[in-house]
Amino acid sequence: MIKEEKLNLIILLVLFVIPFLAYLFNEPYLTTLTTKIVILSIAGIGLNFILGYGGLVSFGHAAFFGIGGYVTGILASHAQNSEQMFFFLQFDGSNQILFIWLISIIICSFIALLIGYFSLRTSGVYFIMITLAFAQMLYYFSISWPAYGGEDGLSIYVRNVFPFFNTMNPINFYFICFTWLLIFLTILKIILNSSFGLVLKACKENEERVKSIGINPFKIKLISFVFSGAITGLAGSLYTDLNRFVSPSVLSWQMSGEIMVLVILGGVARLYGPILGAVFYIILEQTLGGISENWQFWLGLIIILEVLYARAGIMSLFLKDSKS
């Protein structure tokens, strides 16, 4: 039973130490696994920003995760076989990871702006469904568009290049992802404590009151949605580099569900909740997967018990001042 700040610090510390331990005990797989945890955490904190703090239940965040992933895969694949990308433009992709991140963030923000602009006109269950529909649209598009592998996905063989670091070294790549996690945690903490964050939380509580003091809630929600999409998109970009492969499954509704599950498992509207959720999810996947072929059955059972009896998420199990 500890304070939230302390728990947050412990989580980061553990994540920091694991790859060194993995190196010491010669378990490189553990580093890859922790990298996956960190990337899913980034996707989760992106979603949690609007879901937890803004009350916007997006069931389509796989759209951004997948677009980030595909932008990375497409740029890298063009750079590798030096094929020209557009027929009107002399451009044959890039394998510079900094450039790829920039493009991923720009494109994901733009797509989030479009999706958000239409979806945010609705609310409640309609919002859940329309975000799902947009993600499905992109999913089916990725399956039936043959240029980049269609259903089979797209391999990029080597990770993209980061100046001075060899990204193929698991520990280097891990710390790149970990740095992104720290950056987003810091930015989000600043935003949530700012007046903007206050208004976003107010939109969740009572939209009418926000309107009555002269603030347009649509604008606030749209900006937050775009920001959230960009974060999750960057996570998708890192995920492609981690696996050196991207396939339509990153755009599927199961992916949206998975991101949402780890946000809720960890504890909604807690900044570090998704990290704990991702840790728990991956541990479950690994241990249950080792015990039984039907590990998802047990995962389902655990999630149901969690919903029915431990509603505030895993974070709250460790915390003294549990919010109700």
Partner 1 sequence: MTISLFIEQILNGLQFGVMLFLMSAGLTLVFGVMGLINLAHGSFYMIGAFAAALFAELTGSFMIAMIASFVAALFAGALTELIIIRKIYKRDHLDQVLATFALILLFSEGIRWIFGAYPLYLDIPNSLSSSFNLPFEIIYSKYRMMIILVGIIIAIILYFLISKTLIGIRIKAGQNDREMIGALGVDVTKLYTIVFSLGAALAGLAGALIGAIQSVEVGMGEPVLILAFVVIVIGGIGSIKGAFVGALLVGITDTMGRFLLPSFFSYFFDNASATSIGSSIASMSIYILMATVLIFKPSGLYGGKND
Check: CB of residue 313 under 8 Å from CB of residue 266: yes
Close Cβ partners of 197 (under 8 Å, ≥ 6 residues apart): 53, 191
- By CB under 8 A, is residue 51 in contact with partner 1? yes
CA distance between the termini of the chain? 16
Q: Supply the DSSP symbol for 146.
A: G
Q: Which residue of 144, 169, 179, 194 would you call a contact of partner 1, by CB under 8 A?
A: 144
We find the least distance from the C-beta atom of residue 136 to partner 1, in angstroms, to be: 6
Q: Does 113 bind partner 1 (CB under 8 A)?
A: no
Q: Residue 118, interface with partner 1 (CB under 8 A)?
A: yes
Who contacts 298 (Cβ-Cβ below 8 Å, separation ≥6)?
A: 284, 288, 292
Secondary structure of residue 301 in the 3-state scheme: helix
Strands (E), 46-193: 154-155
Cβ proximity to partner 1, 8 vs 136, nearer residue: 136
Can residue 129 be called a binding residue for partner 1 (CB under 8 A)?
Answer: yes
Q: Does 59 bind partner 1 (CB under 8 A)?
A: yes
**290 touches partner 1 (CB under 8 A):** no
Residues 239-268, one symbol each (x = binds partner 1 by CB under 8 A, - = not), give: --------------x---x--xx--x---x
Determine, following the binding rule CB under 8 A, whether residue 311 of this chain makes contact with partner 1: yes
165: exposed, middle or buried (Cβ count in 10 Å: 0-12, 13-18, 19+):
middle
Q: Which residue is associated with the tokens 């945890």?
A: 37
Query: Which residue lies nearer to partner 1 by CB, 169 or 296?
Result: 296
Residue ranges that bind partner 1, judged by CB under 8 A: 51, 57, 59, 118, 121-126, 128-130, 132-134, 136-137, 140-141, 143-146, 253, 257, 260-261, 264, 268, 294, 296-297, 299-301, 303-304, 306-308, 311
